[in-house]
Amino acid sequence: MYRLLSLCCVLFVYASSAIAADKPNIVIMLPDNLGYGDIGAYGGGELRGAPTPNIDRLAAEGIKLTNFNVEPECMPSRSALLTGRLPIRSGTSRVPLPGHPQGMTRWEYTLAELLGDQGYVSGHFGKWHLGNEQGRLPNDQGFDEWWGFPQSSGETINETQPGFEVGLLPTQPIYEGYRGQPSTVVGEYTYEIRPQMDEMITDKSVAFINKYAKSDKPFFLYVPFSQPHAPAIPNEAFKSKGGNNYQNVLMEIDHNTGRILDALEQAGVAENTIVIWASDNGPETHQGVNIPYGAQGDSGPFRAEFPSAWEGALRTPGIIRWPGRIKAGRISNEIVSILDFYPTLATLSGGGKFVPTDRPIDGVDLTDFLLGKTENSPREHALFFFGDDMLAMKWRNFKVHFIVHAPALGAVRQAGQGVTTSYRQELVLPWVFDIEADPKELWNINASSTWVGGASFKYLNGYMKSLKDHPNIKSGERRE
Amino acid sequence: MYRLLSLCCVLFVYASSAIAADKPNIVIMLPDNLGYGDIGAYGGGELRGAPTPNIDRLAAEGIKLTNFNVEPECMPSRSALLTGRLPIRSGTSRVPLPGHPQGMTRWEYTLAELLGDQGYVSGHFGKWHLGNEQGRLPNDQGFDEWWGFPQSSGETINETQPGFEVGLLPTQPIYEGYRGQPSTVVGEYTYEIRPQMDEMITDKSVAFINKYAKSDKPFFLYVPFSQPHAPAIPNEAFKSKGGNNYQNVLMEIDHNTGRILDALEQAGVAENTIVIWASDNGPETHQGVNIPYGAQGDSGPFRAEFPSAWEGALRTPGIIRWPGRIKAGRISNEIVSILDFYPTLATLSGGGKFVPTDRPIDGVDLTDFLLGKTENSPREHALFFFGDDMLAMKWRNFKVHFIVHAPALGAVRQAGQGVTTSYRQELVLPWVFDIEADPKELWNINASSTWVGGASFKYLNGYMKSLKDHPNIKSGERRE
């Protein structure tokens, strides 16, 4: 039924493509496991040995969100971005183990489908991670064309790990595909290809911009980079940039971001293009064997790392530029979620047409907030899941934890020892933190702030009610 | 002998005050125990529930240092600032226990004396903390006038602590003093005065600016604020700003900063005034009984808190504005120390005249760096002491720890438990961190980077050699 709805819409809009003339193009760049503290505009950059001038400039030209929230892992974040719905509704609440069935429900009506129905041409270049079989690839979920790999950036690249031998597990194909046709294998995502991957993603993205900038259709370009996910191995041109692999890769991401921004400029479409730049989840900070020593991503002023519901996992850079429409240099600490791009872009591109009404949409429309009509985001809460667990809830300046994953960085790693541990604790009583007074989430104020639960739980109740007609899909239980 | 030198200089320069006409005024604002992550321009501000627009604007109009280093405690930092010398040379390497003898050696030739000898009039308004007896107060150390309190901001304000009663220990006087005369007690720094202190400091500072802006002498204004040191109790006007006491106090500091900047503007001297804004050491993050719950200062992306040699203790905001001379909006991660203001201001105000040559000066002259003649700071190392211990050394992007104080925040405070511990560990082998790759100092790379010691220890040797003719003053051993 959903599929049918989508097709109808396509027919409808294609017939009236003229109205699309002034719709903004949309570009979303999404690096993989990049931390809040990795980027100059967010306190990293040169400070952590990796200047990021292009991304910093993008932030200065748009709105810089300092309370931008994602899901705790790659797959759920990508699902949330493309559906506007909590991943627990779509069979994408966890990254499955390698080899296990994976994929978003086929009946999700993705942002690519929605924009397609509004007259957009869409392209996906890079990491998909929402299904690894024919019928579950980007061109099956609304993208007109794609090139990239279906699983995780590091899932099949294990050459840096002791004991690994080629042939022990399946390799990962590189696909090319077009809507309405099966995807074609055009290569293999190998260890040798790993340092070239983001350059190739950028090449394809630039070509897409050049191809469609002059068309009469607006375009939606989704660029899920493969870096700096482990193994972070820089491109040849970035091997000697003066940092370790991770630092050099950050500089490479900045360079690739700059290439895409330049392509928009040179194609003359920068003015009418909404550019979104964010990460899919907080950093990996654990010592990787692929770099001379540890210290990869940085979570900035926040606690811990992915995957957890600490701010270090959930808050990433979040930048949105739309020249002349979104005020340059604006900085906001309002709560925004990766879920919100779906309804917001639906409005900015077509007045909200085609947003499904037959299923819960968890994103909220940020249009008035982004365009400066309101100071406040319409979102005052966010729920955070991991698999079937609801880990935590954010409400205004408070955070309520129900289940805790992995303690703070400092606690799991005795200084200089490099010991990494991880655990899951169900709390007897929730922990409550004031994440403005206490950005590092160190002081549980539950006892003095029991009212927070009462005031915030209306959102929890709203979610629980939505499950009645639309039950979640259990983690690991893939559906059609 | 030093005293005599100083007097000679005074005579010399007073006779040629005409040459001072275009010397820049100098304003140094120094809040007490404010953390790197507390200020908007450094990733805090609104994010931590306390917008700091005035300080952020100051940063945007000048150079924002992201690797600005101070001493681990109040007294040593203030000593370093005013002498350009490691505090361990001046009897100021530790904050003494209340009631114990305290004070900088009387023969130090302070920045106030040096600038005075160059024709400046100087004022000190706020916290001194370099001696609490007549003969050791600011007007005995070169300031032409002063108003404030001699000891620490919280040392005698204990009303918020359980069990404390007024009368159990001496109160602290508020002094007013003029050079060449004994200081006069003009009040008592009581619990009732505590929330008014910074407002009074600001009033006096603004009056000083107005008084000397039109004089033919340049001025040196030193504003050591008393906040946000515990107990952080906001002024009446800031009690209802929406945050807890600490957050409200941050907003008050920003407001007071704005008042001083406005006074410079309105007096028409902003253009020819060097404004320095920094903290004396990293934050207190421990739970205070004076606020509803914990979470006071924030160390931003860095580990731990004061007093220690972790970056969270040593790196604070460091902003320098000089319109038309220091490029607006410049951001630098070059190593700079609070020791460096002394020789730098000596140069910027008078070509380096009067910098003593009879004793080691540990600060380096940043003039070319600040004026943009060089990208790099001439400083590539810093040594960090606590009492008689050398705790650590910073060299380029490396940090070598010899003795460790207090583990990382997360390690001492089990999430939500509010447990604070502290310890001192002599390391069997030094720990080495790459503080760019690893800003949180989590990964000891000593084993793979033994060369760092060899390359960096020339600075350690230089320091050791300087002790031969100029032995340190043992902690607690006050000298004349």
Q: Return the H-helix or E-strand segment holding B2.
A: helix B2-14
pLDDT surpassing 60 at residue B138:
yes
- Chain A residues within an 8 Å CB radius of B415: 404, 407-408, 411, 431, 441-442, 444
Q: Which two tokens stand for residue A129?
A: 């991670």
Q: Compute the nearest-CA separation of B448 from chain A (Å).
A: 8
Interchain proximity B433–A416, CB inside 8 Å: yes
pLDDT band (50, 70, 90) for residue A422: low
The CA-to-CA distance between both ends of chain A, in Å, stands at: 12
CA-CA distance, A26 to A464, in Å (whole number)? 33
User: Are the C-beta atoms of residues A475 and A94 closer than 8 Å to each other?
Assistant: yes
Average pLDDT value for chain B: 89
Residues of B in contact with A407 (CB under 8 A): 410, 414-415
Number of Cβ pairs < 8 A linking chain A and chain B: 190
Asked if A150 contacts A173 with a C-beta cutoff of 8 angstroms, the reply is yes
> Residue B302's closest chain A neighbor by CA?
A301
Q: Is the peptide bond before A170 cis (omega within 30 degrees of 0)?
A: no
Query: Any idea what DSSP says for residue B175?
Result: E
Task: Tell me the chain A residues in contact with residue B67 when contact means C-beta distances shorter than 8 Å.
Answer: 47
Choose the closest CB to B439 out of A47, A415, A431.
A47
Residue A315's closest chain B neighbor by CA?
B47
Active site residue A8: no
B249 three-state secondary structure:
helix
Catalytic residue of the set B124, B129, B255, B401: B129
Q: Give residue B286's Cα distance to chain centre.
A: 20
CB contact under 8 A, B414 and A410: no
Asked if A285 lies within 8 A of B442 by C-beta distance, the reply is: yes
Q: Quick one: which H or E segment has residue A464? A: helix A450-469
pLDDT tens column, A232-246: 999 999 999 999 999
CA distance A21 to A38: 38
Distance CA B360, CA B346 (A): 15
Looking at the complex, report in whole angstroms how far the Cα of residue A29 sits from the nearest Cα belonging to chain B. Answer: 23
- CA A184 distance to own-chain centroid: 25
Distance CA A94, CA A102 (A): 9
Q: What is the mean pLDDT of chain A?
A: 89
Is A407 in contact with B410 (Cβ distance < 8 A)? yes
For B440, which DSSP code? T
The beta-carbon neighbor of A416 closest among B47, B415, B443 is B443
- pLDDT grade, residue A323 (50/70/90)? very high
| B-chain residues near A449 (CB < 8 A) | 293
pLDDT at B240 over 70: yes
Under 8 Å between Cβ of B270 and B262: no
Distances (CA, A) of A120 to A26, A111, A210, A233: 9, 11, 15, 34
Three-state secondary structure call for residue B202: helix
- Alpha carbon of A299: minimum distance to chain B alpha carbons (Å): 7
Q: Which residue has the higher pLDDT, B455 or B11?
A: B455
Tokens of A390: 């609801």
Planar angle of CA A345, A102, A167, nearest 5 degrees:
125
The beta-strand segments (E) located in A253-355 are: 273-278, 318-321, 330-332, 336-337
Task: State how far the alpha carbon of A466 is from the alpha carbons of A81, A86, A106, A389, A396, in Å.
Answer: 20, 11, 21, 16, 22
Cα B331 vs. chain centroid, distance in angstroms? 20
Is residue A307 reached through a cis peptide bond, with omega within 30 degrees of 0 on the bond before it? yes
DSSP A236: G
| pLDDT for the residue A286 | 65
From chain A, the residues in CB contact with B394 under 8 A are: none
Q: Per residue in B203-229, pLDDT tens?
A: 999 999 999 999 999 999 999 999 999
Q: State residue B475's pLDDT score.
A: 83
pLDDT of residue B287: 54
In contact, A218 and A114? CB cutoff 8 Å: no
Please answer yes or no on whether A436 and B411 come within 8 Å at the CB atom.
Answer: no
- Does B237 score more than 90 pLDDT? yes
Q: What is the pLDDT of residue B158?
A: 82
Closest CA to A198 of A264, A274, A131, A258: A258
pLDDT > 90: what percent of chain A? 73
Q: Which residue of A has its CA nearest to B45?
A: A436
> pLDDT value at position B421?
54
A9 is catalytic: no
A389: β partners: A386
Contact list, B437 vs chain A (CB under 8 Å) = 48-49, 243-244, 246-247, 293, 295
- Model confidence, pTM: 0.91
Specify the length of chain A in residues: 480
The CA distance from B119 to B10, in Å, is: 8
Q: Which residue has the tokens 């909006």?
A: B329
Residue from the list B44, B333, B416 with its beta carbon closest to the beta carbon of A443: B416
pLDDT of B479:
74
Summarised one tens digit per residue, pLDDT across range B77-123 is 999 999 999 999 999 999 988 777 789 999 999 999 999 999 999 99
β-sheet bridge partners, residue A148: A126, A175
- Residue A405: what residue type? H
Check whether B254 has a pLDDT greater than 50: yes
Contacts of A440 in chain B (CB under 8 A): 285, 295, 298, 409-410
Instruction: Among B36, B65, B293, B431, pick the best mutation site for testing chain A contact (most A Cβ within 10 A).
Output: B293
> Can you tell me the distance from the alpha carbon of B474 to that of B120, in angstroms, rounded to the nearest whole number?
33
d(CA A344, CA A326) in angstroms, rounded, equals 13
R_g of chain B computed on alpha carbons: 21
- Enter the tokens of residue A366: 């940020």
Residue pLDDT, tens place only, B61-71: 999 999 999 99
Cβ atoms of residues B355 and B285 within 8 Å: no
Task: Give strand pairing partners of A424.
Answer: A405
CA A296 to chain B, closest CA, distance in angstroms equals 7
**Residue appearing with tokens 């490691």:** B86
Q: How many CB atoms lie within 10 A of CB B134?
A: 13
Name which of A299, A408, A437 is nearest B415 (Cβ-Cβ).
A408
Nearest CA in chain A to B49: A436
- Rounded Cα–Cα distance for residues A137 and A177 (Å): 9
User: Does the beta-carbon distance from B298 to A301 stay under 8 Å?
Assistant: yes
